[in-house]
Structure 1
Amino acid sequence: MAVSEFLADRTRRNVAILALAQVLFHSTQGMAIATTPLAALQMLGDNKTWATVPIFLAHVGLMTTTLPAALLMGRVGRRAGFTLGAMIGIVGGLVSFAAVWVQSFALLCLGGFLQGAAASFAWHYRFAATDTASDDYKAKALSLVMVGGVLAGLIGPQTAKWAVGIFDPVLFAGVYMMASVFAVGMLLLVQLVRIPNPVRTEGASSGRPMSEIMRQPMFVVAVLSSMFGYAVMTLVMSATPLAMNGCGFGFADSATVIQAHVIAMFLPSFFTGHLINRFGVLPIIAAGAAIEMLCAVVNFMGIGFFNFLIANMLVGLGWNFCYVGGSTLLTKSYRTEEKAKVQGTHDFLVYGTTAMAAALSGTLQAQAGWTVTNAASLPMLAIVLGAVFWLSRMQKTAAAARQHEA
């Protein structure tokens, strides 16, 4: 496709811009994952139980603002919402910078909450990519935006390694300053997004009642896939820097593992959309849950560097299939005028669950250990597999009934 044709194609241009914004967004996420538990541990001393509380509060911020963010964008449009989210991200990075500068755990928790609130807007980049896409391009558009996370996997943790000591002797301050710089980049990029203003009826009271929408089997499975696929990843990922620290590994080692993890989260997005179109969304979700189970198996086998590395790559890959699959399935459960409230409800449920997983990870790791932390993931993944089997059987039964009637 020629450059002029690309620029004239609104959907593809939006996808490219949103993918770049996604790079910066997930770079800040990778930096936070690698840094925040260790920054908290430095402030807390021997009280390791609370080390993931700032990460927990980031998920609380994400959970509590995701529905308002979706509804706000349903009223004022994507660009205005993304602008506000980027501004909150700038402030969140600066607050976290101040926290490590004065060694205030309370400020670090506030910074985490603000970063979560900023993320509640940025996670809608994937849905925004589908706003102007045709039905047969939606899965691919969503997947291509998620590809931005591949570069983020390289840039985020690598930036953390470089910036960790630039304000020496105040360890980690440089990482949070760079998070604010990246948020400035997001602020500039989203000004280029061109998506039509929302229809006037697109709000909390538009379309069918949420109670009716939520009773759809398709909605149920979409939410369970995203919710538990993401919760398992959060559980393992949040505890990984703490577990590696306890096993004698340094910051560079844990940052490398998180780097590989983030790349594994988003690299499949080059082909996840193609796989969904070819094999169907339910088999991809099931494959994701099975791959996340393999993460636990690898962690059960040992606590060497490569156990941490391979397990985190597996949980990242499994998350991609579950989350992209769940998000794709969700787009089939609502009408245009119901988009904002359905996407917001989906994200509220997902991030509420991941908030609990983030809180649980620190407690489990400190009180019960790495093996129990990983074992806690298995029941959630079993639920996802059961839900996929249930919907698949239901769809086959319905198809057979239609064939019989014909």
Structure 2
Amino acid sequence: MTAHPMDTFVDDKMARRNALLLAFAQALGGASASIVIATGPLVGYMMLDEDKALATLPVSTMVLGTAFGTIPAGMIMRRFGRRAGFTGASLLGAASGVLASFAVFQDLFWLFALACCLGGFAGAFVQQYRFAAADTASDAFKPKAISWVLAGGVLAGVVGPQTVIWTKDLFVPILFAGTYLAQAVLALIAFCLLMFIKIPRPPRISHAQAGGRPLREIMAQRRFIVAAACGICSYALMSLVMTATPLAMIGCGFSETDAALGIQWHVLAMFGPSFFTGNLIARFGKERIVSIGLALLAGCSIVALMGVELAHFWTALVLLGLGWNFGFIGATAMLTDAYRPEERNMVQAVNDFLVFGFVATASFSSGALLNTFGWATINMLVFPFVVLSLGLLAWLVLAERKAGTIS
């Protein structure tokens, strides 16, 4: 069998260099997202006079922007390359921060939500960092490259919430206006870092030459179905609980700083394990790590249902972050088994479109559910989806084991 042209791009030395640069860029891109998560519902709550159920809409529009941006991101980077796509998105992220700050100054809720949507569109490119890190990596190094990039979120877990704490009162009495100007500065720093990544652009070859399968055939694979479902479950459930948490904490009498620090611990838990998640996947297998992640998501809700003290909120947020890390990184690694190199851009984009479409629905529903049914209901909703995802994983493992026995 002749080597595919994409195989000539495998270079672990280049992959390590790219992964480090992308990890630092992830720290800044992730910080921008955590800023919106920590402050968006609070800004919305302050701007809205009557219908407080829409307070989480800015977070939802950010996620929706990410969902809408996933397929264009794949097409743009397939046509112009990773670096052009990433740097252009960083500039868009900076513009969204400036627009959000202006909206806060002018007390314009819908303009603020639009700015968050633009930031989410830029975030669709940030979500591709983990795939870009694997582009030039060998099969053995791919899980580590993915986890290295997501480890950059450890810095985001500090940079984002600390940016909120240090800048929220910059233009008193207008809270958080300075925070979104700071978000724009972070995006510009990311732009400078991304100028130095080196990922060769795949040669432009025809579909017949590439040997790429129809998208329908790829998506019909058991492994794609289960990887996508577990990725959706891990991310959407995390978004559902996380988006509601700052409002729930404020409702229980805690301060904006308490909420921001809670999000900080959550983001640290999301990305901190990434230093060794790749090794755990290599040792114990993707499916087992995803299962542990789903169990941790259920553990988060158990703790949240036990009480509404600060310790309950923060512990639940930590478990929520750990569950996302194992569940989402494991599902991402599973997905890489479902496509060939020449199919990667479109499959990755479709996967992220599915993931963030459901995440947007979860975050949008979060405010209304909290306002109508309360904090306990949000946490109770986690359990059936965790059970469903674990069932799909068991189905995949048994089916592949049976197929291996037959062969």
Instruction: Classify the TM-score, shorter chain.
Output: over 0.9
Aligned pair partner of 1:368 in 362, 369, 373: 373
Aligned pair partner of 2:340 in 335, 338, 347: 335
Q: How much does 1:198 deviate?
A: 2.2
Q: How much does 1:8 deviate?
A: 10
Aligned equivalents of 2:101, 2:202: Cα separation in 1 = 37
Residue 242 (str. 1) matches residue 247 (str. 2): yes
* 2:116 alignment counterpart: 112
Matched-pair contact (CA < 8 Å) for 2:12–2:137 = no
Q: How big is each residue's C-alpha offset from its partner over 1:171-198, in whole Å with a ceiling of 9 and x where there is no partner?
A: 1001101100000011111100000012
* 1:3 alignment counterpart: none
* 2:30 alignment counterpart: 26
Aligned pair partner of 1:228 in 214, 218, 233: 233
**Letter of the structure 1 residue corresponding to residue 35 of structure 2:** M
Matched-pair contact (CA < 8 Å) for 2:296–2:322 = yes
* 1:285 alignment counterpart: 290
Residue 276 (str. 1) matches residue 281 (str. 2): yes
TM-score, normalised relative to structure 2: 0.95
**Letter of the structure 2 residue corresponding to residue 47 of structure 1:** D
Aligned equivalents of 1:26, 1:125: Cα separation in 2 = 11
Aligned pair partner of 2:178 in 160, 174, 180: 174
Matched-pair contact (CA < 8 Å) for 2:26–2:150 = yes
Q: How big is each residue's C-alpha offset from its partner over 1:197-235, in whole Å with a ceiling of 9 and x where there is no partner?
A: 122138899711111000101101110111110000000
* 1:74 alignment counterpart: 78
Aligned equivalents of 2:324, 2:37: Cα separation in 1 = 16
Aligned equivalents of 2:162, 2:63: Cα separation in 1 = 23
Aligned pair partner of 2:148 in 141, 144, 148: 144
Identity %: 44
Matched-pair contact (CA < 8 Å) for 2:12–2:136 = no
Residue 184 (str. 1) matches residue 185 (str. 2): no
Aligned equivalents of 2:13, 2:350: Cα separation in 1 = 31
Matched-pair contact (CA < 8 Å) for 2:24–2:152 = yes
Aligned equivalents of 2:329, 2:361: Cα separation in 1 = 21
Matched-pair contact (CA < 8 Å) for 1:201–1:337 = no
* 2:317 alignment counterpart: 312
Matched-pair contact (CA < 8 Å) for 1:26–1:156 = yes
**Letter of the structure 2 residue corresponding to residue 149 of structure 1:** G
* 1:198 alignment counterpart: 202
The aligned runs of 1:287-306 (5 Å cut-off) are: 287-306=292-311
Matched-pair contact (CA < 8 Å) for 1:164–1:175 = yes
**Letter of the structure 2 residue corresponding to residue 217 of structure 1:** R
Q: How much does 1:336 deviate?
A: 1.1
Q: Any gaps of 5 or more consecutive residues in structure 1?
A: 1-6
Aligned equivalents of 2:126, 2:73: Cα separation in 1 = 10
Aligned equivalents of 2:120, 2:211: Cα separation in 1 = 27
TM-score, normalised relative to structure 1: 0.95
Residue 260 (str. 1) matches residue 265 (str. 2): yes
Aligned equivalents of 1:174, 1:371: Cα separation in 2 = 34
* 1:83 alignment counterpart: 87
Matched-pair contact (CA < 8 Å) for 1:202–1:338 = no
Residue 392 (str. 1) matches residue 384 (str. 2): no
Q: How big is each residue's C-alpha offset from its partner over 1:324-353, in whole Å with a ceiling of 9 and x where there is no partner?
A: 011111111111111111000000000000
Aligned equivalents of 1:311, 1:199: Cα separation in 2 = 47
Matched-pair contact (CA < 8 Å) for 1:75–1:198 = no
Aligned pair partner of 1:121 in 114, 118, 125: 125
Q: CA 1:203 to 1:159, structure 2 compared with 1: closer, same or farther past 3 Å? A: farther
* 1:212 alignment counterpart: 217
Q: How much does 1:9 deviate?
A: 2.6
**Letter of the structure 2 residue corresponding to residue 81 of structure 1:** G
Q: How big is each residue's C-alpha offset from its partner over 1:362-393, in whole Å with a ceiling of 9 and x where there is no partner?
A: 00000100000111122221121111101110
- What's the C-alpha RMSD, in Å, of the aligned pairs? 1.5
Aligned partner of residue 136 in structure 1, secondary structure: coil
Aligned equivalents of 2:226, 2:289: Cα separation in 1 = 13
Aligned equivalents of 1:280, 1:394: Cα separation in 2 = 16
Aligned pair partner of 1:161 in 144, 165, 172: 165
Q: How much does 1:28 deviate?
A: 1.1
Q: Any gaps of 5 or more consecutive residues in structure 2?
A: 1-10
Matched-pair contact (CA < 8 Å) for 1:66–1:348 = yes
* 1:132 alignment counterpart: 136
Aligned equivalents of 1:331, 1:396: Cα separation in 2 = 19
Aligned equivalents of 1:152, 1:12: Cα separation in 2 = 20
Aligned length: 396
